[in-house]
Amino acid sequence: MKSAKVVNHLICTIQIIPKKKLPITAKIATTGNFILKELLNHEKNIVKMPIRTLILTISITISITIYCADLEKVIMLPRLEMFKSAIFTHRLSVYNESFVPVGKKQKNCKPFAAVWHDALLGRNKEQIISTFYNFFKSKRDVTKITLWLDNCTAQNKNWAFFSFLIFVVNSDDIRAEEIELKYFEPGHTFMAADSFHHNVELAMKRMGKVYDFEDFVQAVRNASRGTEVLPMKIENFFNWEDYSSQYKLNRLNPRPFIQSMTQVNVCRGSYTMKYKTDLDGEYFEINFLNSKITKNLKLPGPKTCSKINGISKEKKKNIIQNMGEIMRNRLHFWENLPTTD
């Protein structure tokens, strides 16, 4: 497992009493929560045994991973600053949603980057949520996932995103028992993802010329050793629905406001969400899903995106005409970009 591991040791004292049909008693001293099921079920074999104490040490491995996530500022391709013709050429926007491990105990965890370009899809909430979905699936064996996020309502705080969290934590796609989101205070100056994005910029500068999307993917891969890069395809994107009930939200006391949330938690087996308005404050538990969902206790799976954005024919023609002679061995990518008309 590539995630950090926390081992809890449970000391179980089992007192065996040699009397027929007398239940076995167990006293459990534990540092965490643990359910003991059928630890000893062979009473018939110990009826004539003297009273004794059996000490058992049980090790439970709980995998926990902590990442921060952020969308890199928009990068324009091709990036050929040394050519004057490139200055007056149309560009293609590319996006990089990065998930970067936080803390010294995350040495075995590697950055994960979901990258795509504007000819495929934009960067609306459905696309951002899809990158989180692919990241969670890459951590499918982790027990608890904690993410530090930028305090951006449009990208990281919306009811469609919270609906998705309840869906994924209760799905068979991952093993996580809990997903925890923590939001940076507005005006924070630095996060781990910023350092990763800086390394992406340095990698592009070392390359000198970034002709096409494949060059950009390679730059992201070179930003940090072991970086897992997912070039998003149309089948990696989904249409995520908002299943919140405004009627329920308006009747809650206190009324939850997204902009004031500093922490959000969802757990497997539950269709409610906990949140804090202060990282050191108390939790508020809310049931915000509409009645159809709460009645069936199941969120429907998302539909795969089938329609791509494309770029205008004029934009595509402009790039090929102005830069075609410079990047002949990269023309295949540009010539095969989908168009809107």
DSSP calls for 199-217? HHHHHHHHH--B-SHHHHH
CA distance 229 to 111: 8
CA distance 58 to 301: 38
Burial, 226: exposed, middle or buried (Cβ in 10 Å; 0-12, 13-18, 19+)?
exposed
* Domain limits, the chain: 4-63, 64-304
Q: Show pLDDT as tens, one digit a residue, over the chain (341 residues).
A: 444 444 444 444 444 444 444 344 333 333 333 333 333 444 444 444 444 444 444 444 568 899 999 999 999 999 887 777 677 788 999 999 999 999 877 778 999 999 999 999 999 999 999 999 999 999 999 999 999 998 877 789 999 999 999 999 999 999 999 999 999 887 665 678 899 999 999 999 999 999 999 999 999 999 999 999 999 999 999 999 999 999 999 999 999 999 999 999 999 999 999 999 998 999 999 999 999 999 988 899 999 998 999 999 999 999 998 887 788 888 899 999 999 87
The tokens describing 170, both together, are 């209760």
Strands 263-267 and 238-239: unpaired
Estimate the share of the chain in helix, then strand, then coil, as percent rounded to the nearest 5.
Answer: 30, 30, 40
Instruction: Find out whether the peptide bond into 254 is cis, omega within 30 degrees of 0.
Output: yes
DSSP classification of residue 289: B
236: Cα separation from own chain's centroid? 14
**What are the residue ranges of helices labelled H in 170-271?**
192-207, 213-222, 246-251
Describe the crossing of helices 213-222 and 192-207 by its angle, rounded to 10 degrees.
120
